[in-house]
Chain A
């Protein structure tokens, strides 16, 4: 199984290059920290939500999906701000966090992993004289992202099997097959990469 958050589309945002989107994300992150006027913050949040849902064509449902996991933390932080600072600070901090996540999600959903990797390679190339291999780092990150859902799937499969055997509370019954399958998958993936000509990637730089 392969992780992939990119959602294909032909919106203006999709067509922007990855370096432009990532730069804008960094600039916006810094700018948001400086905003301390509540109406400006509300305007920025609404604009970001509009760009995400309408301009990028990702829709309000996905905007909600990107926001939902945050809510409990935002609520917690807002309560703390309200209690220790002011109500205005609570609103500012909450909107800042939510907007930042929307911007990050917007970049993730509209940029291919390979484009992100190319940016990473360009950034890491600065360290090439120090012996750093940017392609290898970028590929390592891409592989890590690709393997996350694989790990979850293996854990889910093994949990289902052990549950069927009445062993869901046994850590050994979970750990051993999960580890075995992970090692086997890693071995198969390694074979596949060698077969596709990647064994000497590092040496070719």
Chain B
């Protein structure tokens, strides 16, 4: 069985007054190393909340998040910084993914500055990544509103891959793109995953995309996470394996 790189154990998360809305209810979930795991669920089921918890951007009411088998102490700057370097995030809204006040280059290189990557090395890696995602370097001198959704998603990929992460959390990252661009980005993501040995959490709605793109899928429903069988003979959507 593949090793778990990022996992949540017995996690509970609620919102609202008196924590009446329970999004996760003693949920267990593990992202297996070098695999693409899909997270599915209806709108409002808590997929993005789960992503935020895995990214350590929100705290669990109960339970814990483990990275490579041990909890991350976010109070320790060095530890939290190391975690944020290894676990990166790409969101669903390309138009608001980058700060509109900054040129794309500045936003992309910010990650390198924070994680104290050697400038020359970071620059070389960026050039390599740009070549891989097929983006002209001149695009980085533009502001976010001056480039298309597909270009933004490619730049976002460069931004996420620059600090050499292990895990990418892709929160419906292709849902706002048209079908042809979506296919290009997914192919690119797959190539990058193989080349850099990445682990993906692919949050999505489209079962066909999930079947084609991922190795494994889980379903978040009523606060619980269940394994899905994507290859049921009858093609049923949420058959549990």
A binds B: no
Interface residues of A (CB under 8 A from B): none
The interface of chain B, by Cβ under 8 A from chain A, is none
